[in-house]
């Protein structure tokens, strides 16, 4: 969608201007800088329900930090500082968010810069001190086969007093690679921002490229099917992982089996276990035959029953329920404070879903329940995922039953201006933004839901014990790669 409701603001007034809107129910969904001459333009995107607002502010080298008045802006301003060399004065915590190198330049500057003598920035120690307080470094290399991230705990015995999450080890430079003529297809890049969310990222990119083009109804329904299949296998991965991390071995094995069977169905029907290669700007790459639809219906029915059985394993095991309930509580207040999105927010009572508030593709013609809980603990996050699988099954079956004949792709023209593509990925609200000038992508910004959800993990582990961390971390189901674009 093209951001038409945009206003310019003096940098000195930006923080107060954003704060005023946030007090009126708006929230920051993205914030990035587009280089200009001289300096750069700060772009702040706000959303309230189905409304999108853009605020721009021209800055040279520095500006008063928005974080001082709107804490949710913190991680955005950290990224802007390291990527564009714009200093948010008064921020107070400019630890790199996605890029851990220090040198003579910053990756998203337009002018060539030297990379001579670039060095790794040492990870700072936590500030908490006291008798009996220990600092525990974990990662970035982990015992399991997971992505790299560094977690630095301050603990008094086992109780956690503070956690600092340090990422950036899988920075790929995709935002820079996305620049250039709009005629070049970048789907292969979008799909690899975070591989298990390939459909969501490619769909957000496609929405930007398509402008106001009308996508064929059949293609829209196939897009919804792909999106919901991706949601199912992501949720199953987290639920089975919770069983693994809490030693509920039978349930963990069963959950892994259900997911594996579903991934094989993905491969048979769509040609890829993680559904890559199916979304294209203008529609979808592959049509579904009658045999495909029959196989799809059977696969989603089986996975729906499997998810319910897995949930029963958990709920009928008192020790497992005791382990998950009241662990890793993220309060509604903190969910709103940090701008948390997706399952994590909805499990804490902060209810928002792009599919319902800004229906895209075929979602406006379908019905589904907006699943939520209010306790904000590991159990609640698991319960939301289980119920969302049931809703995804329902959405896919609705798409199958209402699937009419027709084209699966259309021509489109990418407009100039500031555009954004917003979808509800398995992890939550996903935002791609592009500053397009004279048919060229001048600046591309990717805001994966994990980017805004990692800070809330730091809050959720407080007052828990160190052995609880793997369980809490898994319940969030965050992406390291999605953060480190």
Residue 73's CATH number: 3.30.460.80
Judge whether 435 and 443 are in contact, CB under 8 Å. Answer: yes
Residue 119 lies in a domain: no
Domain holding 293, by residue range, is: 196-449
CA distance 355 to 22: 22
Asked if 83 and 203 sit in the same domain, the reply is: no
Asked if 210 and 335 sit in the same domain, the reply is: yes
Q: Which two tokens stand for residue 409?
A: 């792709």
Domain boundary among 42, 64, 97: 97
Judge whether 455 and 338 are in contact, CB under 8 Å. Answer: yes
In this prediction, residues 40-44 reach a mean pLDDT of 93
Asked if 88 and 200 sit in the same domain, the reply is: no
pLDDT of residue 121: 63
What tens digit of pLDDT does each residue of 180-200 get?
999 999 999 999 999 999 999
pLDDT of residue 424: 97
Contacts (Cβ under 8 Å, ≥6 apart) of 66: 14, 15, 18, 19, 31, 44, 73, 77, 88
pLDDT of residue 304: 97
pLDDT of residue 120: 56
In this prediction, residues 427-447 reach a mean pLDDT of 95
Beta bridge partners of 279: 284
How many residues are present in the chain?
Answer: 485
Q: Which two tokens stand for residue 460?
A: 């959720």
Q: Please, where are the H alpha helices in 288-327?
A: 290-315, 318-324
What are the phi and psi torsion angles at 150 (to 5°)?
Answer: -110, 130
Beta bridge partners of 41: 34, 58
Residue 31 has pLDDT above 70, yes or no: yes
Give helix 198-210 / helix 217-245 axis angle, nearest 10°: 150
CA distance 188 to 448: 17
Asked if 200 and 92 sit in the same domain, the reply is: no
Radius of gyration of the chain from its Cα atoms, rounded to whole angstroms: 22
What tens digit of pLDDT does each residue of 104-116 get?
567 787 765 555 5
Domain boundary among 42, 66, 97: 97
Mean residue pLDDT of the chain comes to 92
Residue 454 has pLDDT above 80, yes or no: yes
Residue 30 lies in a domain: yes
Scored b (16 or more CB within 10 A) or e, 298-326 reads ebbeebbebbeebbebbeebeebeebbee
Residue 401 lies in a domain: yes
Asked if 201 and 92 sit in the same domain, the reply is: no
Judge whether 280 and 411 are in contact, CB under 8 Å. Answer: no
In this prediction, residues 257-278 reach a mean pLDDT of 97
Q: Which two tokens stand for residue 78?
A: 């950290």
Residue 474 lies in a domain: no
Asked if 90 and 201 sit in the same domain, the reply is: no
In this prediction, residues 404-419 reach a mean pLDDT of 93
pLDDT of residue 130: 81
CA distances from 485 to 47, 173, 244, 431, 455 (A): 22, 6, 29, 13, 17
What tens digit of pLDDT does each residue of 144-173 get?
778 899 999 999 989 999 999 999 888 888
Residue 432 has pLDDT above 70, yes or no: yes
In this prediction, residues 245-256 reach a mean pLDDT of 95
Query: Which helix (H) or strand (E) is 175 found in, with range?
Result: helix 174-177
Count of structural domains, the chain: 2
Residue 316 has pLDDT above 70, yes or no: yes
Q: Among candidates 161, 174, 239, which has minimal Cα distance to 204? A: 174
Asked if 331 and 442 sit in the same domain, the reply is: yes
pLDDT of residue 112: 59
Asked if 93 and 200 sit in the same domain, the reply is: no
Q: Which two tokens stand for residue 170?
A: 């899988």
What tens digit of pLDDT does each residue of 332-361 get?
999 999 999 999 999 999 999 999 999 999
What tens digit of pLDDT does each residue of 201-239 get?
999 999 999 998 999 999 999 999 999 999 999 999 999
Residue 318's CATH number: 1.10.645.10
Residue 444 lies in a domain: yes
The segment with the largest mean pLDDT, out of 9-13, 100-104, 123-127, is 9-13
Residue 186 lies in a domain: no
Asked if 211 and 82 sit in the same domain, the reply is: no
DSSP 73: G
For residue 140, say if its preceding peptide bond is cis, omega within 30 degrees of 0.
Answer: yes
pLDDT of residue 320: 95
Residue 468 has pLDDT above 60, yes or no: yes
Q: Among candidates 267, 107, 279, 274, which has minimal Cα distance to 188? A: 279
pLDDT of residue 327: 96
Asked if 267 and 381 sit in the same domain, the reply is: yes
Residue 124 lies in a domain: no
Residue 250 has pLDDT above 90, yes or no: yes
Residue 2 has pLDDT above 70, yes or no: no
pLDDT of residue 1: 66
* The model's pTM: 0.94
Domain boundary among 81, 97, 113: 97
Query: Which helix (H) or strand (E) is 80 found in, with range?
Result: helix 74-84
Residue tagged 């698991």 (tokens): 382
Q: Looking at per-residue confidence, does 142 or 368 come out higher?
A: 368
CA distance 117 to 111: 18
Asked if 200 and 83 sit in the same domain, the reply is: no
pLDDT of residue 125: 78
Residue 160 lies in a domain: no
Residue tagged 């919770």 (tokens): 242
The confidence band for 123, taking pLDDT boundaries of 50, 70 and 90, is: confident
């Amino acid at each position: 969608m093209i951001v038409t409701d945009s206003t310019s603001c003096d940098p000195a007034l930006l923080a107060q201007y954003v704060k005023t809107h946030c007090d009126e129910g708006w929230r920051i969904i993205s914030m990035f800088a587009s280089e200009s001459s001289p300096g750069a333009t700060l772009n702040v995107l706000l959303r309230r329900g189905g409304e999108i607002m853009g605020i721009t502010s021209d800055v040279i080298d520095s500006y008063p930090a928005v974080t001082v008045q709107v804490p949710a802006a913190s991680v955005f301003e950290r990224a802007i500082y390291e990527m564009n060399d714009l200093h948010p004065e008064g921020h107070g915590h400019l630890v790199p968010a996605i890029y851990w190198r220090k040198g003579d330049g910053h990756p998203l500057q337009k002018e060539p810069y030297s990379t001579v003598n670039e060095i790794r920035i040492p990870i700072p120690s936590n500030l908490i001190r006291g008798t009996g307080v220990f600092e525990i470094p974990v990662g970035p290399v982990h015992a399991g086969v997971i992505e790299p991230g560094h977690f630095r705990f301050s603990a008094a015995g086992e109780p956690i007093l503070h956690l600092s999450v340090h990422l950036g080890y899988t920075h790929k430079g995709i935002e820079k690679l996305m620049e250039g003529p709009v005629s070049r297809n970048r789907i292969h890049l979008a799909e690899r921002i975070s591989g298990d969310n390939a459909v969501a990222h490619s769909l957000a990119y496609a929405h930007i490229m398509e402008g106001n083009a009308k996508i064929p109804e059949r293609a829209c329904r196939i897009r919804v099917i792909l999106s919901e299949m991706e949601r199912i296998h992501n949720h199953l991965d987290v639920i089975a992982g919770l069983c693994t991390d809490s030693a509920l071995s039978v349930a963990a094995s069963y959950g892994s089996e259900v997911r594996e069977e579903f991934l094989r169905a993905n491969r048979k029907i769509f040609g890829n276990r993680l559904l890559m290669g199916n979304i294209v700007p203008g529609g979808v790459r592959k049509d579904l035959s009658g045999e495909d639809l029959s196989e799809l219906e059977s696969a989603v029915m089986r996975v729906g029953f499997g998810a319910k059985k897995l949930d029963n394993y958990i709920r009928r095991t008192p020790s497992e329920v005791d382990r998950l309930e009241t662990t890793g509580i993220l309060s509604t207040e903190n969910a709103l404070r940090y701008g948390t999105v997706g399952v994590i927010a909805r499990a804490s009572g902060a209810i928002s879903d792009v599919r319902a508030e800004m229906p895209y593709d075929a979602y406006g013609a379908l019905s589904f329940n907006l699943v939520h809980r209010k306790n904000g603990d590991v159990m609640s996050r698991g319960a939301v995922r289980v119920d969302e699988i049931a809703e995804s099954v329902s959405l896919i079956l609705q798409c199958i039953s209402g699937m009419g004949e027709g084209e699966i792709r259309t021509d489109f023209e990418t407009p100039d201006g500031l555009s954004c593509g917003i979808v509800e990925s398995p992890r939550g609200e996903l935002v791609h933004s592009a500053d397009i000038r004279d048919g060229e992508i001048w600046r591309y910004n990717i805001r994966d839901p994990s980017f805004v959800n990692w800070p809330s993990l730091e809050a959720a582990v407080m007052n828990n014990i160190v052995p609880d961390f793997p369980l809490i971390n898994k319940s969030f189901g965050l992406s390291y790669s999605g953060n480190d674009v």
